[in-house]
Structure 1
Amino acid sequence: MVIISALASEINLLLIISLVVVFLGLILKRFNQPYIIAYILSGVILGPHGLSIVTDINVAQNLGDVGLIILMFFIGMEISLPDFLRRWKVAFFGTGMQVIFSLILMYILGSILGWSINRMVLLGFIISISSSAVVIKLIQDQANPTSKTSQNVISILLTQDILIVPMIILLTLLGGDELDVNQVILQVIGGVLIIITMVILIKKQKIKFPFEKILKDDHELQIFAALIACFGIALVTSLFELSASLGALVSGILINASDSNKWLHDSLHSFRVVLISIFFISVGMLIDLFFLKEHLFTISILVLIVYLSNHGINAVSLKLLGNTWRESLIGGSFLAQIGEFSFVLATLGLEQNIITIYGYQITIIIIAITIFISPFWVVITQKILGSS
């Protein structure tokens, strides 16, 4: 009876979440707005700071992390490594300028406000990372994924995701904790293995996976084969103390170079929709409406500073790399928000005593709000500059 009762409770919860998402989605559809907004609003309404229908944020975040892995896998499947290498200047210099300018901005702001150098570095890293989850979804919904602007933005996003590991190591050192030598060795070995894999892929151009022909017409086994492809390398990279999302990205890039791309894409599409929506719902649950109301002015100013600075920094970076002002400004609008990996950096900053509980709460809610605002910011920029 207890099992049946628990199952009924889970079914009721799933039903409520689905009803709220569909209701909000239908409203937003009438205004041609992306479903990301519906997902985040659902998290706000149903979460512990709303109606408290969902109180365990950790469960939602864990499911959201799985959704993020699937998203990175899908991103990888759309990336041709030779094409990415042809845009290495955009990826390397675009990301480098974003990080450097963000650190300079935080140094100037921190000098005025009396921050420690550790806090300046932490917040500089946090605002320099954009959201792969949001941007890729927006590009697919609103823009042409194969356009020059979209490809430049994706190149920068991928490089940002790779930079997360050295950022975490540096913040650990700044926090005063001893560096775990074994962990660093594992990360270096994992990084070298990924580089070797990519070099082999560049040389071979095309690869074949076992049982490709057998699975080609077997739609049931395709689903499980797709899950193995997605989570297999993700698990391996996590064993090397690297991001599971990075492993999923590498896996997707490998799939792109095989003949399995289409059926793997189709097999996981439904999982992708559900799990990615849960990721955005978990982001919405982090928005504390009472805390937001109490610190509305401060948060509003900081969100505006983040958007103007990130948009400006990325637009100037893209312009310096040879894009037109129009392409640069649209690209900057896609990269203006703070990304999901910045949640990890903020948590690490709290654990290392670089920021206080208050600073952590402010940072978390600003990240969540910038993700929520992102679709509106992109649409407004496109309308000002003309349709893309």
Structure 2
Amino acid sequence: MPQVVAAILCILLTGIIIKLLRQPQLITYLLVGMLIGPWGLGLVSDPELITRLGAIGVVLLLFFVGMETDASKLVANWKLAVFGTVLQILLSIGCVWLIGMWYEWSLARIILIGFVVSLSSTVVVIKLLQDNGLLNSKMGQGVLGITLAQDLAIIPMLIILGLFTADSINPEHLAKQGIGTVIAGALFGYIVYRKEIHLPFASWLHNDRELQLFTALSVCFGLSLITAWFDLSTALGAFIAGMLIGVTKETQWAHHNLESFKVLFVALFFVSVGMLLDLNFLLEHWAQVCFLVLSALITNTFINALILRMAKFSWHDSLFAGLLLSQISEFSFVLAAVGYQAHIITNIAYQLVISAIALSLLVSPLWINSGRKLLHWHQAKR
């Protein structure tokens, strides 16, 4: 109990300071995670607990993103989302390949690190778009489509990494994943086609907030378990579940009733990310970590800006969108862990990657705000 109280007070006090500095509360959660984690004050030192909290946070984050996503707009921007994401991944691998040739990295390591840096953080991007009133703008929808496509791209990324690491390819495993992908795609298509879906027994939920809450959470975790059974990402199931709740006529209460859960688990997830930062390792290898973070921010900014410029966006909008997409995604932790477990990267390389991902999430709001001022970009530009 004292640990919980201390953590809440840390979030409150740090949040007040961050608000006075006019920075996103995301920074608060990351800093508090670093402070109370195993390499800070040690208020929370159970690594298994950290992993579980992070996994639950990812599932719920994608659930809320799904609820706020307009499937028809995603379909309208499918060319930018799909081809932009593929181009982003290929260009990222190309940049890493240039570095890998110098250090004589294996092909598997080059592809792994290319995958890691190519993904942008959906929750950071959505939060910043919401704060700036840009989520429903043309640029905002383009950026959202790219981030969601990147999140879904983690599925083929994991399959590709599995091909590099497996002693032999398991046809049954690949078939299971393929069937799951087809089913998920069919459900997504059904949601887009129907646009409005009616839940059975919806009248029972009309005035019962408790049943509403547990119905939404059951749909979220139920579809997550189904996609997990098909050896796909649980986040994919949560995202589709969120879209399903979002288009169900009788569940317009979900946004209001679950808003507090959204705040709680967004905070929970990023606090768990902050806990992953080994401060001793960071201080010992600060030059390498800072180089990796700066390289990722610059590379992602200009690659994504180029992609949006090719999609006929103005240079101002393209560069600002590139800034929004500059950080490394929270899902890159999953790819890094897979690479480490498969011995594609060493323990030191894994710690470097983990530190670079977390630090990029921490400094990205400052990077975006600085770039925004340099571009003289404001909300009127849409």
Return the TM-score normalized by structure 2.
Answer: 0.95
Q: How far apart in 1 are the matches of 2:210 and 2:307? A: 46
Structure 1, gaps ≥5 residues long:
1-10
Following superposition, the deviation at residue 179 of structure 1 comes to: 2.7
Distance 1:334 1:92, change over 3 A: same
Following superposition, the deviation at residue 216 of structure 1 comes to: 2.1
Q: 1:266 aligns with which of 251, 256, 262?
A: 256
Q: How far apart in 2 are the matches of 1:214 and 1:206? A: 19
Q: 1:71 aligns with which of 56, 61, 66?
A: 61
Q: 2:242 aligns with which of 241, 249, 252?
A: 252
Q: Which runs of 4+ in 1 moved over 4 A?
A: none
Local SS of the residue matching 2:248: coil
Q: 2:208 aligns with which of 218, 229, 244?
A: 218
Q: 1:52 aligns with which of 21, 39, 42?
A: 42
Is 1:230–2:213 an aligned residue pair?
A: no
Q: 1:150 aligns with which of 140, 151, 154?
A: 140
Q: How far apart in 1 are the matches of 2:346 and 2:194? A: 50
Is 1:277–2:277 an aligned residue pair?
A: no
Q: Is the 8 A contact 2:216 2:245 kept in 1?
A: no
Following superposition, the deviation at residue 283 of structure 1 comes to: 0.8
Q: Map Cα deviations across residues 198-232 of structure 1 (whole Å, 9 max, x no partner).
A: 22233322211112233122222211112112222
Q: Is the 8 A contact 1:77 1:254 kept in 2?
A: yes
Following superposition, the deviation at residue 143 of structure 1 comes to: 4.0
Q: How far apart in 2 are the matches of 1:90 and 1:110? A: 29
In the TM superposition, 1:201-212 aligns within 5 A as: 201-212=191-202
- 1:158 counterpart letter in structure 2: L
Q: How far apart in 2 are the matches of 1:82 and 1:73? A: 18
Structure 2, gaps ≥5 residues long:
none
- 2:192 counterpart letter in structure 1: I
Distance 1:372 1:346, change over 3 A: same
Following superposition, the deviation at residue 141 of structure 1 comes to: 2.7
Q: How far apart in 2 are the matches of 1:90 and 1:311? A: 16
- 2:180 counterpart letter in structure 1: G
In the TM superposition, 1:216-365 aligns within 5 A as: 216-365=206-355
Is 1:20–2:15 an aligned residue pair?
A: no
Distance 1:156 1:140, change over 3 A: same
Following superposition, the deviation at residue 338 of structure 1 comes to: 0.8
Q: Is the 8 A contact 2:34 2:274 kept in 1?
A: yes
In the TM superposition, 1:93-132 aligns within 5 A as: 93-132=83-122
Q: How far apart in 2 are the matches of 1:330 and 1:57? A: 37
2:29 aligned partner? 39
Q: How far apart in 1 are the matches of 2:213 and 2:167? A: 43
Local SS of the residue matching 1:53: coil
Q: Is the 8 A contact 1:49 1:290 kept in 2?
A: yes
Q: Is the 8 A contact 1:47 1:285 kept in 2?
A: yes
Q: Is the 8 A contact 1:227 1:268 kept in 2?
A: no
Q: How far apart in 2 are the matches of 1:43 and 1:77? A: 27
Q: How far apart in 1 are the matches of 2:209 and 2:283? A: 50
Q: Map Cα deviations across residues 319-367 of structure 1 (whole Å, 9 max, x no partner).
A: 1111111111111111111111111111111122111111111011001
1:82 aligned partner? 72
Q: Map Cα deviations across residues 230-274 of structure 1 (whole Å, 9 max, x no partner).
A: 222112111111111110111111222221443011222112211
Q: Map Cα deviations across residues 136-166 of structure 1 (whole Å, 9 max, x no partner).
A: 2222234421112221111011111111111
Moved more, 277-286 or 254-263: 254-263
How many positions carry a matched residue from both structures? 378
Percent of residue pairs identical: 39
Following superposition, the deviation at residue 174 of structure 1 comes to: 1.4
Local SS of the residue matching 1:358: helix
Local SS of the residue matching 1:15: helix
Q: Is the 8 A contact 2:66 2:239 kept in 1?
A: yes
Q: How far apart in 2 are the matches of 1:177 and 1:36? A: 41
- Provide the alpha-carbon RMSD of the alignment: 1.4
Q: How far apart in 2 are the matches of 1:368 and 1:326? A: 28
Is 1:387–2:378 an aligned residue pair?
A: yes
Moved more, 340-349 or 54-63: 54-63
Q: Is the 8 A contact 1:103 1:125 kept in 2?
A: yes
- 2:321 counterpart letter in structure 1: G
Q: How far apart in 2 are the matches of 1:289 and 1:201? A: 45
Moved more, 302-311 or 139-148: 139-148
Q: How far apart in 1 are the matches of 2:59 and 2:166? A: 31
- 2:318 counterpart letter in structure 1: S
Following superposition, the deviation at residue 175 of structure 1 comes to: 2.3
Moved more, 46-55 or 182-191: 182-191
